[in-house]
């Protein structure tokens, strides 16, 4: 019976740590660039775009497709960085737990 109570305490402790970690991840900011810095995208930890900067030299009628591709590439770069930072925080929290490789936490 004491084992169950101890386990319940650990579950509550883990839940509190997970909630704190989710809040920290939501506050992360990741900056992605493409085109040698001509396009810059900033995402938060949830993957939501916070800002977009476009170098004025890209505003030419003939370069619309290039501009679109660069924006997508910068967004992907920022998203990859945000996911890597979130994975690192999750790894630190779940150290020692038997979690299968490739398992993503629900956030």
**pLDDT tier at 107, thresholds 50, 70, 90:** very low
The mean pLDDT value for 69-78 works out to 89
pLDDT digits (tens, 9 = 90+) for 25-53: 888 888 999 989 998 989 888 788 888 88
Q: Which superfamily does CATH assign the domain made up of 31-94 to?
A: Nucleoid-associated protein YbaB-like domain (3.30.1310.10)
pLDDT digits (tens, 9 = 90+) for 83-96: 888 888 777 776 66
Find, among 102, 43, 48, 45, the residue nearest to 78 by Cα.
43
Token duo for residue 29: 């900011």
Answer whether residue 69 shows pLDDT above 50: yes
This prediction's pTM: 0.57
Domain ranges of the chain: 31-94
């Amino acid at each position: 019976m004491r084992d169950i109570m101890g386990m319940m305490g650990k579950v509550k402790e883990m839940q509190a740590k997970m909630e704190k970690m989710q809040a920290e991840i939501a506050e992360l900011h990741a900056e992605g660039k493409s085109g040698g810095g001509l396009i810059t995208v900033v995402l938060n930890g949830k993957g939501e775009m916070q800002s977009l900067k476009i170098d004025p030299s890209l505003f030419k009628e003939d370069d619309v497709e290039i501009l679109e591709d660069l924006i997508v590439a910068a967004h992907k770069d920022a998203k990859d960085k945000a996911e890597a930072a979130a994975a690192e925080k999750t790894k630190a929290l779940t150290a020692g737990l038997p979690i299968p490789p490739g398992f993503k936490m629900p956030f």
